[in-house]
Chains A and B, each alone.
Chain A
């Protein structure tokens, strides 16, 4: 300030102005936070895993809502464990900033049992159940009530390079032999799949157990079984890990890493979810032309594989300030038209059966018949509120797969899973 000081009053006036301005500047962001709530348009916070084209679906629903609500897509971390930890931590703290939650199919029972989800009733329930495949719908139920609406289901396929292999392998043994043959000829030979200590390893194991005709828990989900089929599955997993055909970081690989490893050209086979196909077409169209798919390899040559169902359910948080709008938003995000859009653009299979028959699906979604075949003869992971603890214990016991000792590992898992069912489990 170059002007001479005009004495007391003016100066104090100016000071007061400055102080007032500072105060306003400090308060402005707070006001902005609150304004979303009272300006009439409720914000619906959708917490969902990264999905490339989901924003388009969200924009679509916002247009449809015509100003009754505004969905904000909040992207969760990539790894499933981290997604769950973030949501669970905030729900435990009764955070009202979350409205619609994208839940992995295995979390629904747990969050429902904890009392963190609102039940779907009446008209909403009827609408959510209409035409939805039985398997995915089962994952959204707890104690015969519906706590979520299945948005997409998912099931892993075997992806293989047609320029290296003429026939897809039908069993694990066959696949290992094919890979060893390619290795001997100096061609790309690796079998790439998820083996890190996380849910993905449990999915692989669960598929092997179901394919070998075994059981992890009894059908009611109250007792740990781990029968002969479960031990057989451990043998297959151990032999696979020690055959010298996996990547060197197999015991640290998660979904996206597996996709990238395969795209970089070192793999002949990949066991992974369908999202890899559109991603591959975008990243490397040449490679995508050389890649075909088949049913997941079986444990026993005479019994087709039973593959673990994945997928996402949309649930509404108990602490949401706008439950009505949240239910409506969730219903919109998963309606047949949007499920078709996501299936075509993001490679996530629909939960509404009629969508599979749509003409556009055939072209953009050529593997749909294989997926439907697997879905109709699928395996589900144990449906128990303690599933997450059981899964954590299993992944810890199974990791690293190369160190499995079938009988001993099965005994350890049986005991640990039983403890988890009784809240006596200590997680590693």
Chain B
């Protein structure tokens, strides 16, 4: 429905539609393009036009419709009382404690999972990159969690943590971990991390492939320790890849839904903003309030993408700091 559309748009958005090739650093003045370059540029636009048109056609209508709905009192329970209310839904949502609780939970989950995934993913990527024996087996087994459908994995986590059916429930003494807020959030984050670390590792592995062996050899000739080679050589060269991985994961993590839906259904203040939007739209039949939340999620995601692209200079994978091939 419209929320889904509104919140999944951004998938293709980062770096994609903005496909900006960084201008060369040398000399800020714009160099006049030669004839051939201009033709190439034009061809580039023509080549990506169909994709852009399709994206717009599929996503523009649901987004605009959501925005339109968010400006009305539109409650399916009271069909006769539909009216235009301007921004009052936004006031209602933004002054509501549930919204801010959910926003805080979502932010917490986003920051913690992305940070942990970056560290674990980096380790996993280096292991996969350096493996000599059984490389295929290592890579395949590392990717298994990413291959399992989230909802299916979430159910197995849920049963594992439920007393009576689970093997993990009594790990930390008596009690039902999914019924306590802190432990429930920890379990949600664990499930997220378990699931998407391989994805992170995959993106980082692509970055590792960018690091020339010669550089590393030269560094060790100069007496750099392994840690120094990692921080002074690998990381700077990998920076674009790391930023892209971070951006993708941050946007994904912010829209977390399925794990929470299965594990706690949002009980004990463990709802994310997506969970909240679902509850208001689908369970509450309140299209006005629900669409308002969808729009707010969409705006937040857009802001996150903007920050990454503009402030951290995230660019498409493959282009280096020195500017892409032109």
Say whether, besides A389-B284, A427-B284, A197 and B99 are in contact (CB < 8 Å).
no
- Are B76's CB and A392's CB within 8 A? no
CB-CB nearest in chain B for A79? B265
Query: A302: which B residues are within 8 A, CB to CB?
Result: none
Q: Does B154 contact A (CB under 8 A)?
A: no
Q: Which of B98, B99, B162, B269 has the most C-beta atoms of chain A within 10 angstroms of its own C-beta?
A: B98
Q: How many residues of chain A get a CB closer than 8 Å to chain B's CBs?
A: 30
> Which residues 263-297 of B have a CB within 8 angstroms of A?
265-269, 271, 276, 279-280, 282-286, 288-289
Chain B 240-266 near chain A by CB (<8 Å), digits 1 or 0: 000000000000000000000000011
Query: A249: which B residues are within 8 A, CB to CB?
Result: 162-163, 176, 179
- Are A389's CB and B176's CB within 8 A? no
B57 to chain A, nearest CB (A): 22
- How far, in whole Å, are A197 and B268 apart by their CA atoms in the complex? 8
Give the residue of A113, A196, A386, A426 whose beta carbon is less than 8 angstroms from that of B280: A426
CB-CB nearest in chain A for B98? A428
- Are B77's CB and A426's CB within 8 A? no
Q: Does A114 contact B (CB under 8 A)?
A: yes
- How far, in whole Å, are A84 and B279 apart by their CA atoms in the complex? 12
Query: A113: which B residues are within 8 A, CB to CB?
Result: 77-79
Query: B92: which A residues are within 8 A, CB to CB?
Result: 424, 426
Chain B 89-117 near chain A by CB (<8 Å), digits 1 or 0: 00011001011011000000000000000
Question: How many CB-defined contacts (below 8 Å) exist between A and B?
Answer: 95
| Size band of the interface chain B makes with A | 35 or more
Say whether, besides A400-B179, A426-B99, A197 and B77 are in contact (CB < 8 Å).
no
A261 to chain B, nearest CB (A): 9
CB-CB nearest in chain B for A89? B282
Say whether, besides A114-B76, A249-B179, A252-B179, A392 and B283 are in contact (CB < 8 Å).
yes
Q: Which of A113, A197, A252, A427 has the most C-beta atoms of chain B within 10 angstroms of its own C-beta?
A: A427
- Are B276's CB and A427's CB within 8 A? yes
CB-CB nearest in chain B for A387? B77
Query: B98: which A residues are within 8 A, CB to CB?
Result: 396, 426-428
> Which residues 169-200 of A have a CB within 8 angstroms of B?
196-197
> Which residues 97-149 of A have a CB within 8 angstroms of B?
110, 113-115
Q: Does B178 contact A (CB under 8 A)?
A: yes
> Which residues 381-428 of A have a CB within 8 angstroms of B?
385-386, 388-389, 392, 396, 399-400, 423-428
- Are B178's CB and A428's CB within 8 A? no
B139 to chain A, nearest CB (A): 38
A383 to chain B, nearest CB (A): 13
Q: Does A81 contact B (CB under 8 A)?
A: yes
B5 to chain A, nearest CB (A): 15
- Are A425's CB and B284's CB within 8 A? yes
B11 to chain A, nearest CB (A): 24
Query: B163: which A residues are within 8 A, CB to CB?
Result: 248-249
Chain B 61-78 near chain A by CB (<8 Å), digits 1 or 0: 000000000000101111
CB-CB nearest in chain A for B88? A424
- Are A252's CB and B178's CB within 8 A? yes
B204 to chain A, nearest CB (A): 37
Q: Which of B98, B282, B284 has the most C-beta atoms of chain A within 10 angstroms of its own C-beta?
A: B284
Q: A113-B78, A249-B179, A427-B280 are in contact. List 16 more A-B contacts (CB 8 A).
A: A85-B282, A85-B283, A88-B285, A113-B79, A114-B76, A248-B175, A251-B179, A252-B179, A252-B267, A386-B77, A392-B283, A396-B98, A423-B289, A426-B92, A426-B276, A428-B101
Give 6 CB contacts A-B under 8 Å: A84-B283, A197-B267, A392-B284, A423-B73, A423-B81, A425-B284
The 3 closest A-B pairs by CB, nearest first: A249-B176, A197-B267, A423-B75
